[in-house]
Amino acid sequence: MEKFEVTILGCGSAVPNARHMTTSQLVNVHDKIFMVDCGEGTQTQIWRMGARVSALKHIFISHAHGDHFFGLLPLVSSLSLMLCRTDDLHIWIPAEMQELLERCFSRWCYLPFTVVFHGIDPTRRAVLVDEKEFTVETVPLNHCVPCCGFLFSEKPKPPVLLPERCKAAGIPPRQFGKIKAGADWTLADGSVVPNSALTTPSDFVPRRYAYCSDTAYYPAVIPQIEGVDLLYHEATFVTADEQKATFAFHSTAAQAAAIARDAHVGRLAIGHYSIRYTGEDELLAEARQVFANTVAAQEGMVLEV
Amino acid sequence: MEKFEVTILGCGSAVPNARHMTTSQLVNVHDKIFMVDCGEGTQTQIWRMGARVSALKHIFISHAHGDHFFGLLPLVSSLSLMLCRTDDLHIWIPAEMQELLERCFSRWCYLPFTVVFHGIDPTRRAVLVDEKEFTVETVPLNHCVPCCGFLFSEKPKPPVLLPERCKAAGIPPRQFGKIKAGADWTLADGSVVPNSALTTPSDFVPRRYAYCSDTAYYPAVIPQIEGVDLLYHEATFVTADEQKATFAFHSTAAQAAAIARDAHVGRLAIGHYSIRYTGEDELLAEARQVFANTVAAQEGMVLEV
């Protein structure tokens, strides 16, 4: 199975502390590396963990709160200083941030490679990256500033060629590529052998990963993330602090789990913990009451999708 | 003796790694807290060490390289979120940084207190803070961008009153304050008792701390830091890499020590280590060959001035 995994670099909320760094994660899809959010200290987490970022090509920033992007300038500075990078780096940010952030980069960051900024509209669904084997798209969320999550989706694989059937139909092997690509085959007498008779559907089940942070409880997200294999959903507060959650456009652990349950996801990882709690036991217990297959994200954790 | 000490929060150079954070330190002068430089992750160091920053009033930034200020916005953001701060915070930065940094603060930092930016000219000596008991001034350095160090100097204490002499001269105790402040005393017959006959010079020896980072070997700094009790001087490279040091406007450990020796300082702390070295043994040995009373700064180290 090709690699599809999420590495948690930071899963705390607004202020880092001894237990948690602010938000960032690496998503490895078929050995292509993406970063989602980039709080302060993200590069330190990367160097400590020995995470592979030489191939990092896209960074997605969910919203304009510092705990999700203050590590961007330092990280890219260090990539410039340390690695013999020549590839472009694409940074996707809410469009309102673009002008000022570009100025900061051009003023305070020596860049031997090109940084391409892409302003996104967090309020609308859009495909940001469309690769041969997968896509990355926005997931509009409900926070106090424009904010979106990101959905990583493998594409279905094409049908598998049945060589014996092809040979029986007299198809020369050099034409097999066309059949693989979905073509029918026309015999000498003009009759057509449909592609479905020459191939069998792939048994590959595309996997999907959804990242939803930061957001209030927001059921409107459910249709878009329905059935994902892994959902990372913020769970800043416990239920006793639900009013605080509502006020700050954040979620409780139980609300995160309700989204997971109602969207029939495979597994839920909660994160973005408020520093008011000294551990994640209560958050995790509350979430598991609603959706059993829940883990509490921790720095260094690798989650397979 | 009143407190005068330096706490090292970070003493690495451009890129943080597993051993060192980028540059920042706290200077406590008579329980007033100052910060010098603020690399990425400075706030994390503060929370980890339990350092006291509620009374932090001034932050001095030496120059516009990210490893000396990328932690500023995140730190001030967190001070806003965590502490019930109402006092103004003064941030002293090279004037060329001011406009853009102010825009970043006003856009990306919710501030329940006032941040006052002061643009400084790193190429000129100037007193930035003039308190009753001490001053803070710039120390122009020689780096590839405008850069200055900072000099913290206790002021001499006024002479000590000799009560017996004052009584003998018939001075009523309620006038002692004037004598303490340096006044002479005029007797009834018009003759004058000079202040020096009523007081004795304080035996207090003012202490001074100089911070010099980043800089090439720069003997022009010597007259200004002559005789300081403690000098923190960057020592990015070993002598074998002196060409690299010269090219990048940095110092070798031996050059830092030569400055310490020629300025007759009390003690030298080296720092700003290049990540190319796996430890500080060679840097320290080279420095001590030139100036014996040298220590290698480490995160968490507290240096008494």
Give the integer Cα–Cα distance in Å for B112 and B71.
19
CA distance A23 to A14: 9
What is the DSSP annotation of A72-112?
HHHHHHHHHHHS---S-EEEEEEHHHHHHHHHHHHHH---S
B194-206 pLDDT, tens digit each? 999 999 999 999 9
* CA gap B148, B127 in Å, rounded: 12
Interface test with B, best of A20, A37, A61, A78 (most B CBs within 10 A): A78
The answer to whether the CB atoms of B66 and A100 lie below 8 A apart is no
d(CA A164, CA A100) in angstroms, rounded, equals: 61
| Partner residue facing A107 (CB), from B44, B82, B100 | B100
Name B292's Cβ contacts closer than 8 Å, sequence gap at least 6.
Answer: none
Whether the predicted pLDDT of B18 surpasses 90? no
Interchain contact, A44 vs B14, CB within 8 Å: no
Q: Measure in Å the smallest separation between the Cα of A17 and chain B Cα atoms.
A: 6
Segments of chain A scoring below 50 in pLDDT: none
Among B273, B212, B214, CA closest to B66: B214
Helix (H, G, I), strand (E, B) or coil at A265: coil
Q: Does residue A299 sit at the B interface (CB-CB below 8 Å)?
A: no
β strands within B147-216, DSSP E: 148-154, 160-161, 185-186, 192-193, 199-200, 208-212
Residue A70 forms contact with B (CB below 8 Å): yes
Which residues in A lie closer than 8 A to residue B44 (C-beta atoms)? Answer: 16-17, 21, 40-41
Could you tell me the CA-to-CA distances from B127 to A89, A235, B115, B153 in Å, in that order?
A: 43, 49, 20, 11
CB-nearest to B107 from A16, A73, A100 is: A100
> What contacts B145, CB < 8 A, 6 or more positions away?
B63, B64, B65, B94
| Amino acid, single-letter form, for residue B21 | M
Using the 8-state DSSP alphabet, how is residue A190 labeled?
Answer: S
CA distance B205 to A186: 101
User: Amino acid identity of B159?
Assistant: P
**What pLDDT does B80 receive?**
86
Tens of pLDDT, residues B33-43? 999 999 999 99
B272, burial (CB in 10 Å: exposed 0-12, middle 13-18, buried 19+): buried
Q: Are A26 and A33 in contact (CB under 8 A)?
A: yes
> Residue B241: what pLDDT?
97
Dist CA B196 CA B210 (whole Å): 33
Alpha-carbon distance B24 to nearest alpha carbon in chain A (angstroms): 14
Superfamily of B4-157+204-304 according to CATH: Ribonuclease Z/Hydroxyacylglutathione hydrolase-like (3.60.15.10)
For the four alpha carbons of A59, A103, A97 and B79, in that order, the dihedral sign comes to positive
Q: Which pLDDT belongs to residue A83? A: 63
Residue ranges of domains in chain B:
4-157+204-304, 160-200
What pLDDT sits at residue A293? Answer: 98
Average pLDDT (B83-93) is 87
Grouping H, G, I as helix, E, B as strand and the rest as coil, residue B283 is helix
Contact B47 A108 (CB under 8 A): no
Q: Using a CB–CB cutoff of 8 Å, tell me whether B156 touches chain A.
A: no
Band the pLDDT of B269: cuts 50, 70, 90. very high
Residue B84 has pLDDT above 80, yes or no: no
Amino acid at A49: M
Please tell me the distance in Å from B92's CA to the nearest CA on chain A: 17
Does the pLDDT value for residue B250 go beyond 90? yes
pLDDT value of position B85: 79
What's the half-sphere exposure (Cβ side, CA atoms, 13 Å) at B236?
Answer: 24
Q: Contact B43/A81, CB-based, under 8 Å?
A: no
- Judge whether B26 and B6 are in contact, CB under 8 Å: yes
Encode burial over A86-123: b for 16+ CB neighbours within 10 A, e otherwise: eeebbbbbbebbbeebeebbeebbeeeeebebeebebe
Q: How far is A275 from chain B (nearest CA, A)?
A: 10
Read off φ and ψ for residue A67, nearest 5 degrees. -70, -5
- Give me the interface pTM, i.e. the ipTM: 0.89
- Structural contact between residues B159 and B182, judged by C-beta atoms closer than 8 angstroms: yes
Instruction: Report d(CA A100, CA B108) in Å as an integer.
Output: 10
CB contacts of A111 in chain B (<8 Å) are none
Q: Is any Cβ of chain A less than 8 angstroms from the Cβ of B16?
A: yes
pLDDT of res. B110: 86
- Reported as a pLDDT band with limits 50, 70 and 90, residue B83 is low
Alpha-carbon gap, residue B287 to B265, rounded angstroms: 14
Residue count (chain B) = 305
d(CA B304, CA B2): 11
Helix (H) or strand (E) holding A177: helix A176-180
Instruction: Just list the catalytic residues of A.
Output: 67
